[in-house]
Structure 1
Amino acid sequence: MTQRDIFLVANEVNELGGVGRWQIQLATLLAERGHRVTVVGIAPPHHPMDLGERPPFRTETLYARRPPSRPRPRRLLGSADPAVRRHEAHMRKAAARLTELFRAARPGAMIIVPQVWAMEWVALADTAGHPVIGMTHESFDTCRKSSRFQRVKKYFAPVDRLLALTQEDADHWVGEGLTNVDFLPNPLPFLPDTPSPRSEKVVASIGRLSHEKGVDMLLDAWAEVAPRQPGWTLRIHGSGPAEQQLQQQCADLGLQDSVDFAGQTDDVPGALRASSLFVQSSRGEGFPLSLLEAMACGVPCVAFDCAPGVREIITHEEDGLLARPGNTMELARHLVRLMSDQHLRDTFGERALHTVRRFDPETITRRWEELFDFLER
């Protein structure tokens, strides 16, 4: 196996969230296999994750403070607008540090860019001939509805490989005219020794309390569930900008006795082992780590089928249940069905333990190394 210099260039080194957790896990997996890994952030994190005392990779951040957004050029001046030129000069100065890092790397180095904002700086740097792998960590449909869509097509079109998270999303990007597309799923974040006994009357939800995660829709569904399943608790782990609004919604629906806002947890496996079901009510997703985590703990999942990554992880009626996106009545019916049937919960949970192993970290890391070898040819 070739030991390589690998650069992960992201928006931030250790931002709390799915992409941040993914990049730290991948950096650790690659470092443990003997690669020399550097994680470069463009800006400091808003909500930092703890990397521990001695992470097995180097870190560097280009800016001490988050840089201002790119100004819109005035119509008559275009790219000659002084504000635009000052901003680009500022970006080029920061990108020069990337050039230094890339030029100092050994032959066979790889540059991985998991976010398009970070790619704007990599595009200004001299990559010293090293292959560049871009990534999009959201579904094609979610990206298409955002301002990132045109930027992904612009900045990732020239890279050596653009990775989606599923074959279905990769095919959509090919349909947009990109010819460098492949896919690689996220690896399992952990493999616990002890799965959930599925004995507690708890339905768990884990994620940021934001509009995108759809906890408001989950509460609407729970208003249908709670009267039919007394004694059960919906335990919501997470924090975020919608927390106060969601707590008010919970009170308005009269659900305080059956809903527990448990706050952000540092012990995800423990939270999952203390539950018998997991529910995800997101409006959009990429390849959700929380579903992988729940299934790795033997906890069957109920989720909105809001993205190819969701149905890639959950097989409906085999190891979990999928509801049509936004259909809270259907989500409620699925929850009631599993809450009222211990045998079905156990059957789905045991299957989940088995099927989720296809995303084993060793398997996914080996696929990354196979991609590195292919791009070096």
Structure 2
Amino acid sequence: MGGVTTWTHQMARLFAERGHRPHIIGIVPAAPELRADLGELPYPTETLYTEHPPKAGPARGVKGRLNLAERRRRAAKEAGMRGAADRLSARFATARPGGIVICTQVWAMEWVTLADTAGMPVIGMSHESFTACRASSRFGRVQRYYADVDRLLALTREDADLWIRAGRDNADFMPNPLPVMPDVPSARTEKVVASIGRLSDEKGVDLLLDTWALVAPRHPDWLLRIYGSGEDEELLLKQREALGLERSVEFMGRTDDVPEALRGAAVFAQSSRAEGFPLSLMEAMAAAVPCVAFDCAPGVHEIVGDGEDGLLAQPGNINELAAHLETLLTDQELRDRLGTAARENVQRYSTDRITRRWEDLFAFLER
């Protein structure tokens, strides 16, 4: 899972640089192309499974309990989980004393719960907004598996407060660190709007195309460049054709050089249906590119100050998003003011500040 995997390895590198000894344990191996992108790692990694563990649903009703094939799948899954948890317990034993478990994925907490974590603080994270979690099966998993962790970490204070109201009085928050602070920011002179993210329903690229269809006729000299890959690519290419946007929308594919992509843009657009603490907004701000975005999660308005260093629209309101794009496309002075403020303001998420916050939490939990 791209965003969380990127975050995990970024934090592991930062911890290693400060003298800690990170050890990453995955449930299943990362995709080969992602593993190649990570390069040489200054810390050990391993996985509990060599391939995705078998899936088996809960027994529902008499038929479910009597279904022999389903019972076998459940038994195989449970046996595999017990064996994986035993291996996890053995690994945790080598980290005592002084070890801390950070579970970055709600799904992974099932194995941590089965393992022996005696004497080790356990931190469970949710890398999405409370609202997005509440609308999914992950909410029940958090309520079940995060009840006894030392800290349930949300991404924002607002989300942490919502978790506390939902009964998780162990909730706190920890923002994501800024991925990179480029030495050379964008000059904001190229007539390009950039968007970076997975081509999936959650990221709302279809909504961005609908938005651009409202903007492009009045700004034929501007381009929308969409960076990313994903399962919706073919559908989005067909949508671009249906909207007559072939000349003004370029699908650029995945990029390994986000700062370079952003240096060639004057505006950044995000049209997600759901977010946690979007790294792409932070990357754009670090490059001094003003952002327009749907305010779809607390993490969005935590990062972007509406009217201060970017412009926010109500979730799904393409007319409002289009109006914000029009404003920035036609006002160079405003682009410069918001972009300059964005680059300055986003430094509150510097890697040094966020890593120190983690270390303060470690010290508190170890007392």
Q: TM-score, normalised by structure 2?
A: 0.96
In structure 2, do the counterparts of structure 1 residues 86 and 74 end up closer, same or farther at CA, with 3 Å as the change threshold?
Answer: farther
Q: Counterpart of 1:56? A: 42
**What's 1:373 paired with?**
363
1:20-169 equivalences under 5 Å are 20-46=5-31, 48-50=34-36, 52-76=38-62, 77=65, 83-169=73-159
Is 1:208 matched up with 2:198?
yes
Distance across 1 between alignment mates of 2:103 and 2:201:
26
Q: Judging changes above 3 Å, is the alpha-carbon distance between structure 1 residues 82 and 255 closer, same or farther for their aligned structure 2 residues? A: closer
Q: Alpha carbons of 1:292 and 1:49: their partners in 2 closer, same or farther (altered >3 Å)?
A: farther
More displaced, 62-71 or 287-296?
62-71
User: Aligned residue for 1:171?
Assistant: 161
Residue 280 (structure 2) pairs with residue 284 (structure 1): no
Whether the aligned pair in 2 keeps the contact of 1:212 and 1:284 (CA below 8 Å) is yes
Aligned partner (choices 215, 227, 233) of residue 223 of structure 2: 233
Structure 1's unaligned 5+ residue stretches are 1-14
> In the aligned structure 2, how far is the partner of 1:268 from the partner of 1:240?
17
Please state how far the C-alpha of 1:210 moved relative to its aligned partner.
0.4
Question: Distance between the aligned counterparts of 2:323 and 2:124, measured in 1?
Answer: 40
TM-score (norm. length: structure 1): 0.93
Q: Which has the higher helix share?
A: 2
SS at match of 1:133: strand
Partner of 1:274 in structure 2? 264
For 1:254, what is the secondary structure of its paired residue?
Answer: coil
How far off its partner does 1:106 sit? Answer: 3.5
Q: Map Cα deviations across residues 225-244 of structure 1 (whole Å, 9 max, x no partner).
A: 00111200000001111111
Residues 338 and 345, structure 1, Cα contact 8 Å, conserved in 2:
yes
Measure how far apart 1:84 and its partner are: 3.0
Residues 249-260 of structure 1 mapped to structure 2, 5 A cutoff = 249-260=239-250
Cα offsets for 1:247-290 (capped at 9, x unmatched): 11111110111000111111100000010100000000000000
State which of 344, 347, 350 in structure 2 corresponds to 1:357.
347
Partner of 2:322: 332
Cα distance between partner residues in 2 of 1:196 and 1:69: 47
Cα distance change of structure 1 residues 247 and 82 upon mapping to structure 2, 3 Å threshold: closer
- Aligned residue pairs, count: 361
Shift of 1:85: 3.6
Partner Cα separation in structure 1 for residue 209 and residue 119 of structure 2: 51
- CA deviation string 1:185-239 (max 9, x = no partner): 0000011111001110000000000000001010011001001112000000011
- Work out whether residues 54 and 73 of structure 2, in 8 Å CA contact, stay in contact via their aligned partners in 1: no
Moved more, 49-58 or 156-165: 49-58
Q: CA deviation at 1:143?
A: 0.7
What SS is found at the alignment partner of 2:159? Answer: helix
Establish whether residue 310 from structure 1 lines up as the match of residue 300 from structure 2: yes
Q: Distance in 2 between matches of 1:251 and 1:281?
A: 19
Query: Displacement, 1:97?
Result: 1.1
- Per-residue deviation at 1:75? 2.7
Question: How large is the RMSD of aligned CA atoms in angstroms?
Answer: 1.4
Give the whole-Å Cα distance in 2 for the aligned partners of 1:248 and 1:236: 15
What is the correspondence of 1:11-22 to structure 2 with a 5 Å cutoff? Answer: 15=1, 17-22=2-7
Give structure 2 stretches of 5+ with no counterpart: none
Counterpart Cα distance in 2 of 1:75 and 1:205: 47
Are 2:330 and 1:345 aligned?
no
Report the CA distance shift for 1:210/1:53 in structure 2 as closer, same or farther (over 3 A): closer
Q: Given that residues 55 and 73 in structure 2 are in contact (C-alpha distance below 8 angstroms), is that contact kept between their aligned partners in structure 1?
A: no
The Cα of 1:332 is off from its aligned counterpart by 0.3
How much identity, in percent, do the aligned residues show?
A: 60
Number of the residue aligned with 2:283 = 293
Q: Report the CA distance between 1:107 and its aligned residue.
A: 1.3
Counterpart-to-counterpart distance in 1, 2:4 and 2:71: 34
Separation in 2, partners of 1:262, 1:370: 41
